[in-house]
Amino acid sequence: MIINHPLLGPRDAAEFVYLGDASLMDRPDGMTASDEEMHDYMYLRDNPAGEHRELWYHEQGDRSWLVVTRNTLTHEITMVELARDVARSRGRSK
Amino acid sequence: MSQSNRLTGGLIDRSVSVNFSFNGKNMQGFQGDTLASALLANGQRLVGRSFKYHRPRGIFSAGSEEPNALVQLRKGAAQEPNTRATMAELFDGLEATSQNHRGSLERDFMALTDLFAPFLSAGFYYKTFMWPKAFWERVYEPIIRSSAGLGRLSMQPDPDVYDHGYMHCDLLIIGAGPAGLAAALAAGRSGAQVVVADEDFLPGGRLNAETYAVEDMAGADWAAQAWAELQAMDNVRCMTRTTVYGAYDHGIYGALERRTDHLAASEGRPRQVLWRVYSRRAVLSAGATERSIAFPMNDRPGVMLAGAVRTYVNRYGVAPGKRVAVFTNNDDGLRTAADLKAQGVEVTGIIDARKGESLATTWGRKGLTAVGTASGRSIEADCLAVSGGWSPNVHLTCHQRGRPDWREDIAAFVPGADLPPGMSVAGAANGAMTLAAALKEGHAAACAALGDLGLSPAAGDAPKAEDETFDIKAFWHAPGKGRAWVDLQNDVTAKDVKLARTEGYRSVELLKRYTTLGMATDQGKTSNMLGLAVLAEASGKSIPDTGTTIFRPPYSPVAMGAFAGRARGKDFRPNRLTPSHKWAEEQSATFVTTGNWLRAQWFAQAGEKGWRDSVDREVVQTRRSVGICDVTTLGKIDIQGRDAAEFLNRIYSNAFLKLPVGKVRYGLMLREDGICYDDGTTARFSENHFVMTTTTANAVLVFRRMEFARQCLWPDLDVHLISTTDAWAQFAVAGPNARALLGKVVDDLDLSNEGFPFMACAECTVCGGTPGRLFRISFSGELAFEVAVPARYGDAMIRALMQAGEEFGAIPYGTEALGVMRIEKGHAAGNELNGQTTAANLGLGMMVSKKKDSIGSKLSEREEMNRDDGLRLVGLHPVDRNDMLNAGAHFVELDDHHPDMFSDQGYMTSVAWSPELSHSIGLGFVKRGKDRIGDIVRAYDPVRGKDTKVEIVSAHHIDPEGVRQRG
Amino acid sequence: MGYSAFKVFWQGLTGNKGWQPAWREPDPRPQYDIIIIGGGGHGLATAYYLAKEFGVRNVAVVEKGWLGSGNIGRNTTIIRANYLLPGNQPFYELSLKLWENLEQDFNYNAMVSQRSILNLIHSDPQRDAFARRANAMRLSGADSELLGPDEIRALCPFLDFDNARFPIQGALRQKRGGTVRHDAVAWGYARGADMHGVDIIQNCEVTGIDITDGVCTGVQTTRGPIRAKKVAMCAAGSSGRVAALADMRLPIESHVLQAFVTEGLKPTLPGVITFGAGHFYVSQSDKGGLVFGGDIDGYNTYAQRGNLPVVEDVCEGGMAIMPMIGRARLLRGWGGVMDMSMDGSPFIDKTGTQGLYVNAGWCYGGFKATPASGYCYAHLLAKDQPHEVATQFRLDRFRRGAPIDEKGVGAQPNLH
């Protein structure tokens, strides 16, 4: 597979490390989250057959975390974003 | 027998004769022959035995689809099983032997199997061999195994090397037949970056096997001219002997180039190169594969695909027989007869299924002698050319789960609409069964692909050729008594297909699995379509309603060595060397692999009888005076920024906000699921500058996780991370004389206990101005420091340290002594931080702060992870001090006579022989361990036949108060 | 009809004309006691044991494709009971025991071949971990041995002992481990279940799960609605998709595992060999092909195909440990979609919906588990109580903090 890195252009997916569903960015605050919220964050996944937003890390490159939108049936990649931008757009900050 | 079947003409070089042997028999052929054409030229018709019934087999095709003519090529370590004679180029000295027979090829003892064929119908083995039970492994299976399989490996390491290569292009053209050449010319002339690859050693595809003209030239001459033009273009890479074997995601194709298989020896050059081709567009012009017809006794040597007959006659100047009959359902059969006659070969009969004619049987035990028609006529023939039509080579179109479509007019599957993105198909592969159409499609496909890429094609039209006729009437299975083979290699007959259907294996996928149809080394190229047709016939359904045949990579089999490339032997994985590696080698260190690192394990000295002598000495001398150990492999992460402390406070489970500048703190890291992940120390050099160490094993992983936290969880924290593991050489200097030693090396720093107390750190210079860092931390439990210098000074540093330590008898110590000392001291390491243990298990529960949110703190509070009867880290001493402990033993109670997984009390994680205590010691996890100090349990180790009484003690075997490290 | 050598002989004499279908192809009836969603190995085994051992015969297995079209036919055919943790090992030991009597039990030769499995050891920590495991296996009643390099050399002289990047220091061996002809397992269970009255309904996709007031009442299918007292999901690889029909999210991701086979070779390997340090495991089929695999590709996917980096990685492992396979040719590769769970261990459990059950999360270890999975699932379905060796396979184990994490890598499915 080839991931079109927003800063570096197309790169072989072998340069990256895969983590999983982009929902892993939505970590609740451990001091305020309920047990259920923390459990669901850590363990439950939508696991869709189709479009999937997921986290890839450019370990053999610039060490950016990316959010890649990829179809799990066809492997077609339709969007690649810097995870930091996505995190901010989801309201994460400090 | 000297090339008795050689004709005139062909594309071989008769000026170069080539000697080779088959089953020890010396023969001659010419440059440009394949082993198959040369065997035929020499009149060798019997070349192998079938898989199941050991029936005689001859050459069936002239390409990579060959199911029958598999040989062992070469001798010794280079012996290569299952090589298709049709793909093996002849070279001088080639040695080939036939395979899968007991006794000689001619008198195969295993051919007796054929007599029992009625009892060996499809899937018979699923219905018997069940009694008595123990006989399967002992009797039945060994018999089945030794008669199954085909060729033999040499069982010696592959003597050749293989390379991997990477290519990028605008357009990849797969196959250099007429369509591929037309595509390559169009794309090449436009200036696009083109790769054109063909599996043959002679580009041109069917042009070399037929007698067509292109642009008023002989087809083969036109192909040669086109290839020469392409080779002259800088923007075109022309590759022969290269099979594009797989279509992967996003335009990536796998290709195998055979570099030296056509030579007597590779002489150190790579035998094959496995290419990864990154293409923007691809044109599949892989042609088509001819198929046979299932008719009674259609498996004898001499029965050959009609297209292959023309290949042998026209390209190789070889007559596959002296008297040839033709059985066809399309115009190719007539063309075959014409080509044979033109070369003066007698054609004894043409059986045209379109006229209602058919074959009912054949004769000839080890080679065809005659065929019998359905109307009862017998026709003498030592070769039968069969054409059941052509199946487009749609394989690569299916590699991403595309499904082919059925086209009734050519009675074949053609590529479906769901092609791999970026791929188009041209020529016979696309169902364009005539030459003119193939040339046009190839040209058009290239122009369209260029258009997609925004490139303009060069002016010009497709090369011109006559449009020959292609008339076909589907005919798959001739009725009649006797077995009609569908899969020649695996001995699957039409009856087997029907039986499988009767028994309920109705999906084509079930059928294949039950009968082994299409599972042979030809991957079903010559059998799948026939099998599907016979199944359709039996079901009374149309072929497309019955199923499709789809394909997975590789297109044709690829040597394991090629996939592995250079990654074998010592080069399997990279070696990471520590800065003191060269010095350690000079000291005759023994090295151990830790991940990819090579670390000094111990430093043997003259007179030491075994590793224990060396390790004990290193421990004793370190604890008595001073020892030095390269600890560079520990991960190092430089952390800077205004929020660095806050960031660390969230990464570590214990508090880090208030760590003073100039101090080091031990930190415990959890995974988000609350399990201990890693530990290490972090030093604060200034308000906004920290340096973290991680374990060797987790250096990369911890850094990755921290980057995740930084970028994805808290994107606005002002913190930056750099991995500096390789940037700093770091040495532990441990023992009572550590301070005195370092005093000689470190410039201008007060190293006294007051000036530089336990857990202090400082940036400094060493050896008169070299930048360095000093930490007062101790893994050994002794008075200890770690000194770091830029990695390029690492070699000089170890030499300087050793020189400075000479007066104290300083010794280097390796990972073994390091391990002994940490076990004596009771520090957890990899064996305890095994990814299954909680902070509470490790006795570090107090380190998980409940006053703040940190990674893993919330989920570490779950009930099952906080049970009172959970595992706790303890020390273990053998009750009999002479007993040696073993890591991996489990703990069971003294009176537990039938221990099981539920009475299991824990397990021993690490053991060492303690020179200080003069007996074996261990660390381990015991249920309620902290409450059981002083209890005796058994270290139960049935796998090593041991059962040892041990006393549960504190994990801190020596100096539990930590007096030495604070001294 | 019973299978035997005599039957094969008699049919041979009479032209093989008397063989009967191995199973019926019934139309779905309007109602069953239990519907099993998924006609793969586990689903068919569940049906077989329900009917044979637990006397529940009014059972339907509904399968989207053809029977055995899932991972039962897409694996490396290895059986073993060499697990570490008490949540797993007794279960796999039960499975191995069931394998050992399977063929006689269901009267179908699945070629259960106990030629042993070797897990190679390359470092001291690995030896310690394998010793712990070997002892845990003994505690569960399974067999295990630790071998030294000389013993391994005698068994497998072709391994790289002299030039290896990771020298072979030993091995964990389980002699009772081995291989089974994978497709035949599905067929044997299907035939056995059918003989006991189970309806196996192929080409019947479940399109909905009917739930009324928290009670599951049946399923909607492409062949019409079917009512049932209990509905048992058993569609590993598609578990997420099936569970979504009941509005459930599972602690599972779908990943692809590739496996490969070489061209047929005369006997080459004595049993199963695994090279964990290099992500490679291999055995030889009765037909002669070397069957091998390695790591999962590592990204979420439902496509039954993988990519080149893993193919190369697996073959590198092969060449590193047995450099004599360089000239064997890789004939075919395939990809199976795995239910990768959050701790690498499976689920056999009730759900929050009464009458709806789940069997999922087998990661890449489902094949060896087939008999015990079927047996324990049947037990749960018949008695509403988990079988004693499957009490830990609960969906709520993460809530309680009791993961069964053999590899110790945490809640990241692609690392298991």
Q: What is the pLDDT of residues B181-190, one digit of tens each?
A: 999 999 999 9
pTM (two decimals):
0.96
Angle between helices B508-515 and C182-195 (to 10 degrees): 110
Alpha carbon separation from B360 to B357, B363, B473, B514 (Å, rounded): 10, 11, 19, 27
Beta-carbon separation of A93 and B859 below 8 A: no
Q: How far apart are CA B764 and CA B1, in angstroms?
A: 87
Domain boundary pick from C341, C370, C393: C341
Q: What is the pLDDT of residue B147?
A: 86
C286 interaction partners in chain B (CB closer than 8 Å): 141, 144-145, 148
B278 interaction partners in chain A (CB closer than 8 Å): 2, 12
Residue B2 region by backbone torsions, left for phi larger than 0, else alpha for psi between -120 and 50, else beta = beta
Please name the fold of domain B635-723: Alpha-Beta Plaits (3.30.70)
* Tokens 């022309």 found at: B238
Q: What is the pLDDT of residue C277?
A: 87
Beta-carbon separation of B835 and C410 below 8 A: yes
B926 forms bridges with which residues in the sheet? B872, B906
Partner residue facing A57 (CB), from B248, B704, B862: B704
Q: How far apart are CA B939 and CA B923, in angstroms?
A: 12
Q: Which residue of A has its CA nearest to C304?
A: A73
Based on the fold, state whether residues C174 and C195 are members of the same structural domain.
no
| Count of domains observed in chain C | 2
Please name the fold of domain B867-966: Elongation Factor Tu (Ef-tu); domain 3 (2.40.30)
Domain boundary pick from C288, C314, C341: C341
Angle between helices C182-195 and C41-52 (to 10 degrees): 30
CATH code, C231? 3.50.50.60
- CA–centroid distance for B579 within its chain: 33
Based on the fold, state whether residues C383 and C329 are members of the same structural domain.
no
Structural domain contains residue C352: yes
Partner residue facing B859 (CB), from A42, A75, A88: A42
Burial class (CB in 10 A: 0-12, 13-18, 19+), B251: buried
Report the relative pairing of strands C272-275 and C280-284 from DSSP bridges. antiparallel
Interface of A to B at Cβ within 8 Å reads 1-2, 12, 17, 19, 24-25, 27, 29-31, 33, 35, 38-39, 42, 55, 57, 59, 63-65, 74-77, 82-84, 87-88, 92-94
Residue closest to C370 by CA, chosen among C97, C58, C2: C97
Structural domain contains residue C13: no
Partner residue facing A72 (CB), from C250, C300, C413: C300
Q: What is the pLDDT of residue B470?
A: 84
Interface of C to A at Cβ within 8 Å reads 240-241, 249-254, 298-303, 307, 309, 342, 398-399, 411-414
Residue closest to B579 by CA, chosen among B812, B814, B800, B794: B794
Sequence-ordered list of residues with C-beta below 8 angstroms from that of B518, at least 6 positions apart, any chain: B487, B512, B524, B527, B528, B531, B549
Low-confidence ranges of chain B (pLDDT < 50): 1
Based on the fold, state whether residues C200 and C264 are members of the same structural domain.
no
CATH code for B576-633+727-822? Answer: 3.30.1360.120
Low-confidence ranges of chain C (pLDDT < 50): none
Structural domain contains residue C12: no
C233 forms bridges with which residues in the sheet? C37, C358
Based on the fold, state whether residues C211 and C167 are members of the same structural domain.
no
Query: What backbone torsions phi and psi does residue B600 show, to the nearest 5 degrees?
Result: -70, 125
Residue closest to B666 by CA, chosen among B601, B761, B752, B584: B761
Beta-carbon separation of A21 and C300 below 8 A: yes
For B162-288+393-452, the fitting CATH number among 2.60.40.1080, 3.50.50.60, 3.40.50.300, 3.40.50.1110 is 3.50.50.60
Query: What domains lie within chain A, and their CATH numbers?
Result: 2-89 (3.30.2270.10)
A90 interaction partners in chain B (CB closer than 8 Å): none
Partner residue facing A25 (CB), from B712, B852, B858: B712
Partner residue facing B707 (CB), from A27, A31, A65: A65
* Tokens 């597979």 found at: A1
Partner residue facing A45 (CB), from C253, C298, C299: C253
- How near does any CA of chain A get to the CA of B250, in Å? 6
Based on the fold, state whether residues C139 and C261 are members of the same structural domain.
yes
Q: How far apart are CA B70 and CA C376, in angstroms?
A: 47
Q: What is the pLDDT of residue B131?
A: 87
Is there a contact between B41 and B6 (Cβ–Cβ < 8 Å)? yes
If you count DSSP H runs as helices and E runs as strands, how many of each does chain A have, helices first? 2, 6
Query: What backbone torsions phi and psi does residue B323 show, to the nearest 5 degrees?
Result: -130, 110
Task: In chain B, list all ranges with CATH 3.10.20.440.
Answer: 1-155
Residue A60: CB atoms within 10 Å: 12
Q: Which of A27, A43, A46, A80 best tests the C interface by mutation, with the highest count of C CBs <10 A?
A: A43
Q: What is the pLDDT of residue C373?
A: 98
Structural domain contains residue C332: yes
**Helix or strand (DSSP H, E) at C95:** helix C89-106
Based on the fold, state whether residues C298 and C356 are members of the same structural domain.
no
| 3-state class (DSSP) for residue B243 | strand
Structural domain contains residue C84: no
Based on the fold, state whether residues C193 and C227 are members of the same structural domain.
yes
Based on the fold, state whether residues C260 and C173 are members of the same structural domain.
yes
CATH code, C128? 3.30.9.10
Domain that residue C55 falls in: 31-77+183-251+343-415
Is there a contact between B446 and B171 (Cβ–Cβ < 8 Å)? yes
Q: How far apart are CA C83 and CA B640, in angstroms?
A: 44
Please name the fold of domain B1-155: Ubiquitin-like (UB roll) (3.10.20)
Alpha carbon separation from C31 to B60, B270, C28, C59, C227 (Å, rounded): 55, 65, 8, 9, 5
C331 Cβ under 8 Å from any chain B Cβ: yes
Q: How far apart are CA B414 and CA B412, in angstroms?
A: 6
Based on the fold, state whether residues C70 and C125 are members of the same structural domain.
no
Interface of A to C at Cβ within 8 Å reads 1, 12-14, 18-21, 35-36, 39-40, 42-49, 52, 54, 70, 72-75
C8 Cβ under 8 Å from any chain B Cβ: yes
| 3-state class (DSSP) for residue B301 | coil
Based on the fold, state whether residues C393 and C409 are members of the same structural domain.
yes
pLDDT tens digits, B159-203: 999 999 999 999 999 999 999 999 999 999 999 999 999 999 999
Q: Establish whether the linkage from the previous residue to B554 is cis, with ω within 30° of 0.
A: yes
Q: How far apart are CA C198 and CA B290, in angstroms?
A: 44
Q: Report, at the CATH architecture level, how domain B477-541 is classified.
A: Orthogonal Bundle (1.10)
Structural domain contains residue C211: yes
Based on the fold, state whether residues C216 and C235 are members of the same structural domain.
yes
Domain boundary pick from C319, C341, C363: C341
Burial class (CB in 10 A: 0-12, 13-18, 19+), B213: middle
Please name the fold of domain B292-386: FAD/NAD(P)-binding domain (3.50.50)
Structural domain contains residue C23: no
Which two structure tokens, joined as six digits, stand for B871? 């595992």
Based on the fold, state whether residues C269 and C232 are members of the same structural domain.
no
